[in-house]
Structure 1
C-alpha cells in the first residue's frame, strides 16, 4: 500500500521519486543474508559473488543544495523508528590543485590525515548517539593512537604509551572506584579491595595480548604491516604523531577508514548470541554533503572505495554524497547528462546495471567500483505542469521505513524468554535438588545421591549428612571426609603408596531409632584410616572410605548397588564393600546386587549361617549363628544350670528377619544336642505396644528354664519392660543374642530396668574402652572424642571393633597383593583373591582365621563372650565366659565348642 508522505519541503525535480525509492531500497536489510535485492517495480535480481551497497553520488546543481538535508529529514521520520544515519556538510576549502583536469587525485599527504580523521570522528559521534548504535571501539582506538605524542618519553616510549593506554582503558572503572572507595571501606575487607584494584590491570594486560577485540583486530587488519615489529606496543607506537611521519599516509588513511567500517561490520554481524544485530533492520546511511576535491570529500570516497576493494568485506552502510561534479574525477555533467552518469529518473535502472558489473569491477579493484553517480536535474518551475507531475509521483512514493525487529530478537521477548529460562532452570534445578537430596545437580556428589521417599540414599565421599538430625553421626561422617582428603594428600606426596577405596554399606537413616551402632562402625573404620595414614611403607595402603546409605533396614540396597556399579566402572581404586547391618532380607538382596557388579564384601556383624553361601565374593569377620547357638547351649548347660532343662526361644514374628529366624533354628538344634527341651514362641512387638510387652513378660514370669531372646535391641527394651512390671521377685533366667549389644551399650536404657538381670552373647568386648591402651580405642579417643564417655559404653557395643577388623582384613589383602611377585594389578579382583587366602589376623574382636581354605568365608573358632548385666552386686556388665582366641582375654572355657 502506498503511503502519501509529507514532502512539501522536499526538493522536487524530475526523478525525485526514483532517488527516494532507491534510498528506501538500499537501506532495507533482508531478514536473511545481506544487501538489498528488490526494486519498486518488483523486478528481482540476485547477485552472485560479493554483496555490497554502492556509494550513491548525487551530482546536483547549485539550486538543489538542500537535497541531502531533506533526505536527512526523511530518514529521521522513518517509521516505526528512524533509520540510523549521520550527515556531514563539507565547507569550502582553497584547493592546492585544480578542481578538474587531472583525472586522478594527488597521492595522499600527511596533511590529509587530520581532515579525514575529523570527519570520521564527527560521523562516529553522531551515530553513537543513537539508541543501540555501534560503539566504534576500533576506530576510537586508532584515532586515539594517532593523537598521541611521545616526544617527552625519550627513554621508554613504548612503556609510556602502554601506561596511557591502561589509563584510558581504566579511566571509567577508576572513576567508579574512587567514588565508591569511602563507602566500601567499612564493609569490604582490605584483601578484597586489593583484589578489586589488581584485577583491572591484569585484565588490560590480557586484552592487549589478544583477548580484547579491538586490540586483536588492530594486529590482524591489513594496513601498515601490523606485525612489524611484532608486538602491540611496537605497532601502536608507529601510529603516534612523532612516528607516523615515516609511514605511508595512504595506508594510514585506509587504516582509519577500515577501523570505522569494521565497527559497523561488527555491529551488524549476525550471531545467535547477539540478538542486537538482528534488531538492525535498516542499514546505516551516511550523508556527505558538498564533497569536492579541495575539501577532501573526494579523498574520503576514494578511501572507502579502496578499502572495500582491499578487504572484500560487506559494509552495512549506504554512503550518499552530494556534489556539483562527478566523483572521483571531478567530471562536469551537462544538463543533458553524459553516457557515464545516468539521470535521476533512471536511478533504479542505474543501480541494476551497477549490480551486474559490480562483482567484476570490485575484484579488479577499479577506482570506480563502488561509485553509483546519479545526476539530479534542475527542478522545474513551481507553476509548470512538469512540477505538478513530479510532485505527485513523489507523493506516491512509499515512505522510508524500517522493518520491525524479528520477534525473537525484541528486548521484551528476550526478557520474557530469559525469565522463562531462568524459571525453568530454577524449577529443574529445584527438581534435581529434590531428586538428589538437596544437592546442586552439577555438584560432584549429585550423581551418587538419590531421594527415595523420605530418605536420602546413595554414596558420599565428602561427609554428606544422610540424617542431619543425628549430629553425632554427621560429625563422624565429616571426620571420615577429612581423613579421605588426608589420604589423598598423602598419596599425592608419595605416589608409591597405593590409594584404595572401601564402601561402607549400612542403614544410615532411621525414622525413630538411634544410629549409634552404625556411627561406632564408621568410627572403627576411621581409626583404621588414621592408622594407615600414619604408616610410611610403600606397601602400606592409604584408605579412602565412601559412605553408602542403603536406607532404613537396607531397603534400598539394590538401587545403591546400581549406583556403585557405575562408580566402580569409572574408579578402579574401589576394591570392596564393608559394614552391612542386620541379617534381613533387604541385606541379602544388597549382597546379591553387589555380587553382580563384582565387588568383594567383608561384613562386620552379619552372622546368619547361609549368607556366605550366596556368593564367593562375600566374607565376614563375625562368627555364624551356628557357633553362637552352640556356645549359648553349652554355657546354659555348664554355667547357668537352670532348675529345669528347658529353654523358651522368643523370636519376632517377621519372616524377613533372617538373623532371628536362623538363630532360632540353630538354638533349637544346639539345645536339643545338650538335652534341653526347646520351646519356641513368636512375638509381635512394635514401639509403643506396652500392653503386649507386659503380656509377654507376664507369660515368662517364674519360668524355670532359660528364656532366650533372638530379637532386636528395640524389642528387647519392651520385653524387659514387661518382665519388670509383672515379674517382681520371680524374673526368669534371660539369655539374649548378640544384637542386644547396642542396647547394653546405652547407659540410660540399661539403667531403666536395673532390677532385671540378664546375660547376652557378644562378638567383641572392649574392656575398659577408651581408657585402655588398645590401638582401637586409644585412637578413637583422639579422632572422635565424643564417642568416649557420654551416654554410651562404646566398649560394650561390638560394632566398632568388628568394623575395624573388617577394614584390617582388606588392608592385609592389599599388602599381600603389593608383596606378590610380578606386576600384579591392584584392583578388586586381586584383592578378592588375597581375601580368599588370607592368613590368620589378630584383630580387636579376636583372631580371624579362615583356616587356609579357599572356600572358607567366615572365621573359624571366632571369639564370642557371654556378658552378665544387672547381676547381684554388679556396677558394670561383667564377662562371664569366653570362647575363641582374643588377645589379652582369659582363655576359652573348657566346654567351648570348636568349628
Structure 2
C-alpha cells in the first residue's frame, strides 16, 4: 500500500467514460455535497472493472484535487501492492491525508483515533528494567504524550545556597510542569468530571472489547498495548480502531450553533480505494466500516469508493454503471431493514464498469467537485463581528445600568444597584457595595462600612444565640449621591449623621448580654434614592424584592427631603406594606401618602409658630420678610417642604409678613441691608451659602435678625462650608434636636436621665463613631450632630416594638428560636402606635407622641439655636428659644431658653 498525492495532477487528454459514467459522476457529486439541513447516509460504493475499463479512481483523484481555494476532503489508498498490510496501517495513512490542512476549509481534527492507534503501538514495558509496574508507566506515558517532558527537573536542582527566589521559581516550575498537569490528568482519566476527559469516557462507553470489564480507562488502555492484547479478538480490535476513526469524523461534522466551523463543512470527505482485492486489506476495511455502522447504529459522514477486478462476495451481482441512480435509490429504500438485520452488504452498492467504447466523453459540468460555499452566517468574519457587537451592546447596557463605581459584586450579600440618571441607585447591606466614591466623602463611606461590619456581627450573635434573639432589619433610604462637591468638602453631613444614629442603635443592641434572649438585634440596609430623592420610586421598587425575600425587613428610616418624589415613594412603601419612619421630614400632610407613616420631627406649622413666637416674645418685632429656594432643577410645587413652610409663614404672620419672594443664585440683597424686622430664610440649605454671600454686600449694616429654617442645620453641620462662609453674620436657625447637644446630654446624665445618659455613653465609645462625640477633649468634630439622635430614636422605636411583640409571642416558650415570620411590618407599626398611645416614646430628641389620626408628632420639641459667627465652627450653637415638650406632656408652651440674654 502507498499513499497517493491528490493535488496538482491535471487531467491528461480527452478520456472516455463507460456508459453511464457521466451520470455516475453526477450522482457522486450530489452525494458529496452536504445538505443545508440534516445529513444524508452515505453508501460504500464498490466499482467492478475489467482491464479495459477506465480508471475512475484516477479520474476522481484528479478532479478532487482541483480548486483554487476549497476542495473536497479526500484520501487515496493504492492497494495494488502485495497483500499483508494491516488495517491499522491503512487507517494511519488515511488519517494522515485527511488531517492535512490542504483542502481550503477547516482542518479535520482527530482525538479518539490517534489515542487508540497510539495505545496499539505501545511496546511491552519490561518491569524488571523499569523497576515499576506496567500501569503507572503507561499512565505516565499517557500524561506526557501531548507534550515533551522536560529532561531536567529544576525542582531537584537546588544549589543549596538558600536563595529564596530560586526556591520559589523551582516550586512554581514544578507546579506548572509536573504537579498541576498530573492532577488534571488523574481527574480527566477518571471520567468523573463531565468537562474533563470526554475522549476517555467515550472509550469506556463504546461497545468493542467489553471495556467495562476493565473498570477504569487505564485498565482498558493496558489491554490494547502490545503483548497484552494477544488474548483479544483481532476483529474486535480493528472494529475499535474503525469506530474511533468514524467517531472523530462524526464529531467534526456534528452541527452546533456555537461551533460555526461545523456549518462551514459543506462537503463530505471521501476515501478512494484503488486495487481492492477480495479478502485483501481494502476489502476488510470496507467490511469493517459496514459492520461498525450496523452494530453501533450510528451514521458517519465518510463516503467510500473502492475499485477492484472482482465484485465483493457480499454482492456477487453488481448493477450496471448506467443504473447507478436506480441502484442508489433501491439501496436507500432497503437500508433501514438491512442494517437492522446487520446484513454484511447493508451499506454496499456494487457497480460494474463497462467498455469505454460504448460511453462518451465527460461533460465539464459533471466534473465540478468544488464544495459549495458555506452559509453567509457561518463565515469566519461573522463570529468575530457578532462577538464584537455583543461586547459593544453588553458594554452599552452595562454602562447604562452600572459603571466602575456602581456595580454589584457577586456573592456580596444583599446588594442591588443600577445606574439611573448618572447616579448609583439601589441598596446594599455589606461592603460588597459602599455608596459614593466622590472625593471628600470618606466619613460617609466609613460609617457605611461600620454599619456593614455590625451587620455581620449581629448575624453572628444571632446564630450563637441559637436564633433566640429577635432579628430586625431596617432600611435607611436617603440621598447619598448627586451633590457637587470640592475634593476636600464633606457634602453629605446630614446623611452621614443619620447613618451614625442607625449605627449607634445597632451598637447599643450588640452590647447586650449574650443571655438576653429578649433583646433584639438590628441589621441595617443602606439605600440610595439620589439627589433630591428623585429616584426614590425606583429605589423602593428594588426594595420590594428584598422585602419579599427577607421577612426580617420591618421598616424604612430616612427619606431626608419632603418632595413630590418622596411622597410617591411613601405611596409605594404603603402599597408593599412597609412602615416609613422619617427622622427629619416636616412638610405638612406627608402622612396622607401612607397609612404606615411615622414622623419624628414636628411639622412645618409648628416651625412657623416657633418663628412667630420668637419674633413676638424675644425680638419683639412685628415686621418680617421671607425668601425661599427649592434647590437646583426643582420648583415650589415639587418641594413640599418649602411650599408648606411658606404657606404656614403666610398664615401665621399674616399681614406682618410684608415680603415673600423666591431668591435665586446671583440675586442681590442690598434692599435688606439694615432691615430691623425678622429676615427669614425659608429655603434649602444648598442655596444658603449663596444667600449669605448676597448679604455680605451690606458690609457693616447687615439685617438685624437673620432666622433660618431647619434645613439650614444641614449647612451649619458642615464645617468645611462654614469655614469658608462669606462674612461673619450671626445666624439663628431651627433645631429639631437641641436636647441632644453635648451640654444637654451631660446635664441629662447628671440628672439620671437613663435614655440620654445611655445614648451619651454609646456616642462616646472609642469603637463606634469616628471621631467619638462629646468627649472631654471637645473640638468641632466632637459635636453630636443634629440628626444622630433623630435617626437613633426612629430605629430604637421600631426595635422596642418588636421586643414587646416577641415577649408576648414567647409567653409559653421563652427559650424558643425566633421566627422572623412571627411578626410583619404592619403589625410592628400597630405596636408602635399602641405603645405610643399610653405615654409617648421618651426619645433622646424629646418626647414623641403621635396624633391619633396621623403619624405626625404632637407638640414635639423644636428649638431656635444661635451662632454669633457663622465661621466659628469650634463653638456649639446655643439654644435661645423653644416650643413643645421635652419630657412631660405638660411642657407645651413656647418660652425663651435660659440664655436668651445673648439675643441681640
TM range (shorter): 0.7 to 0.9
- 1:403 is paired with a residue whose SS is coil
In structure 2, relative to structure 1, the CA distance for the partners of 1:735 and 1:236 (3 Å cut) is same
Q: 2:808 aligns with which of 804, 820, 823?
A: 820
Cα distance in structure 2, aligned partners of 1:871 and 1:18: 108
Taking structure 1 as reference, are residues 356 and 427 closer, same or farther at Cα in structure 2, changes over 3 Å only? closer
Report the Cα distance in structure 2 between the residues aligned to 1:12 and 1:737, rounded to whole angstroms. 107
CA distance in 2, matches of 1:804, 1:464: 21
For residues 759-809 of structure 1, the C-alpha deviation after alignment (integer angstroms, 9 at most, x for no partner) is 334222454499989245335874444999999656364122212222222
The 8 Å contact of residues 457 and 556 in structure 1, kept in 2 or not, is answered as yes
Query: Which of 14, 25, 31 is residue 26 of structure 1 equivalent to?
Result: 31
Other-structure match for 1:77: 66
**Match status 1:408 vs 2:386:** no
Secondary structure of the residue that 2:477 maps to in structure 1?
A: strand
CA drift at 1:218 = 1.1
**Deviation larger for 431-440 or 259-268:** 431-440
Query: Corresponding residue for 1:687?
Result: 665
Q: Which residues of 2 match residues 384-403 of structure 1 at below 5 A?
A: 386=357, 390=359, 392-395=360-363, 398-403=366-371
Distance 1:718 1:423 in 2: 49
Counterparts in 2 of 1:499 and 1:252: CA distance versus 1, 3 Å:
farther
Query: What CA distance in whole angstroms lies between the structure 2 residues aligned with 1:486 and 1:548?
Result: 20
Cα 1:463/1:484, change in 2 over 3 Å:
farther
Tell me if 1:763 matches 2:732: no
Alignment of 1:107-186 (within 5 A): 115-130=86-101, 131=103, 132-149=106-123, 151-153=125-127, 156-169=133-146, 171=147
Give 1:697 shift: 3.5
Q: How far is 1:317 from its partner?
A: 1.3
Could you tell me which residue of structure 2 aligns to residue 800 of structure 1?
788
Cα deviations by residue, 1:461-516 (Å, 9 ceiling, x for unpaired): 44454573553334544554555555556656667155543332223344557322
Contact 1:79 1:402 in 2 (8 A): no
What's 2:198 paired with? 213
Shift of 1:619: 0.7
How many angstroms does 1:602 deviate by? 0.6
Q: Structure 2 regions of 5+ residues with no counterpart? A: 1-9, 155-164, 486-490, 631-635, 747-758, 811-818, 897-904
Q: How many residues align?
A: 815
Q: 1:606 aligns with which of 585, 588, 594?
A: 585
1:831 matched to 2:828: yes
CA contact (8 A) 1:850 1:859 kept: yes
Contact 2:64/2:71 (8 A) holds in 1: yes
**What's 1:49 paired with?**
none
Indicate how the Cα distance of structure 1 residues 846 and 298 shifts in structure 2: closer, same or farther if over 3 A, else same: same
Say whether residues 1:86 and 2:75 are aligned partners.
yes
Indicate conservation of the 8 Å contact 1:626/1:666, yes or no.
yes
Aligned counterpart for 2:237 among listed residues 242, 247, 252 = 252
1:265-288 C-alpha deviation (Å, 9 max, x unpaired): 222222323332222222221122
List per-residue Cα deviations over 1:240-296 (Å, max 9, x = no partner). Answer: 223322222222221111111111122222232333222222222112222335643
> For 1:836-847, what aligned pairs fall within 5 Å after superposition?
836-838=833-835, 845-847=844-846
Aligned with residue 13 of structure 2, among 8, 12, 15: 8
Change (3 A) 1:526 1:122: same
Q: Distance in 1 between matches of 2:704 and 2:334?
A: 116
C-alpha contact (below 8 Å) 1:328/1:368 kept by paired residues: no
Are the equivalent residues in 2 in contact too, given 1:609–1:625 (CA < 8 A)? yes
Match of 1:738 in 2: 710
Within the alignment, does 1:449 sit opposite 2:449 as a pair? no
Residue in 1 that maps onto 2:815: none
Structure 1 pair 628–794 and aligned structure 2 pair: CA distance change class (3 A): farther
The counterpart of 1:310, out of the listed 279, 292, 295, is 295
State the Cα distance separating 1:123 from its structure 2 match: 0.8
Mapped pair 1:650 → 2:626: yes
Deviation (angstroms), 1:196:
5.3
Cα 1:273/1:557, change in 2 over 3 Å: closer
How far off its partner does 1:159 sit?
3.6
Q: Distance in 2 between matches of 1:76 and 1:667?
A: 98
Note if contact 1:429-1:441 (Cα within 8 Å) is conserved in structure 2: no
> What TM-score, normalized to structure 1?
0.78
2:673 is paired with a residue whose SS is helix
Partner of residue 434, structure 1:
400
Residues 575 and 429 of structure 1: CA distance in aligned 2, closer, same or farther (over 3 Å): farther
Q: Distance in 1 between matches of 2:592 and 2:183?
A: 66
Q: Quick one: which of 506, 509, 515 aligns to 2:478?
A: 506
**TM-score, normalised with respect to structure 2:** 0.78
Closer, same or farther in 2 for the Cα pair 1:353/1:449, shift >3 Å?
closer
**Contact 1:75–1:82 (Cα < 8 Å) also in 2:** yes
Summarize the Cα distance change of 1:272–1:427 in structure 2 as closer, same or farther, 3 Å threshold.
Answer: closer
Q: List alignment gaps of at least 5 residues for structure 1.
A: 36-51, 96-113, 179-184, 332-337, 381-385
Equivalent residue, structure 2, for 1:110: none
The CA distance in 2 between the partners of 1:787 and 1:671, in whole Å, is: 38
1:583 to 539, 559, 562: 562
Q: Is the 8 A contact 2:608 2:649 kept in 1?
A: yes
- The answer to whether the aligner puts 1:547 opposite 2:526 as a matched pair is yes
Cα distance in 1 between the residues matched to 2:570 and 2:860: 22
What secondary structure sits across from 2:361 in the alignment? Answer: helix
Asked if 2 retains the 8 angstrom alpha-carbon contact of 1:224 and 1:247, the reply is: yes
CA contact (8 A) 1:520 1:787 kept: no
Structure 1 Cα separation of the partners of residues 149 and 265 of structure 2: 30
Q: CA deviation at 1:816?
A: 2.9
Q: Structure 1 residues 437, 446: CA separation in 2 closer, same or farther (over 3 Å shift)?
A: farther
Judged with a 3 Å threshold, the aligned counterparts in structure 2 of structure 1 residues 742 and 407 are, in CA distance, closer, same or farther, namely same
1:763 touches 1:845 (CA, 8 Å); kept in 2? no
Larger radius of gyration: 1
- 8 A contact 1:483–1:529 mirrored in 2: yes
Distance 1:345 1:467, change over 3 A: closer
C-alpha displacement at 1:828, in angstroms? 2.0
Q: How does 1:637-676 map to 2 (within 5 A)?
A: 640=618, 642=619, 644=620, 646=622, 648=624, 650-652=626-628, 655-656=636-637, 657-660=639-642, 662-663=644-645
Cα distance in structure 1, aligned partners of 2:743 and 2:95 = 84
Pairing partner for 1:471 from 421, 441, 444? 441
Shift of residue 741, structure 1, vs aligned partner: 2.2
| Partner Cα separation in structure 2 for residue 393 and residue 238 of structure 1 | 54
Aligned residue for 1:519?
496
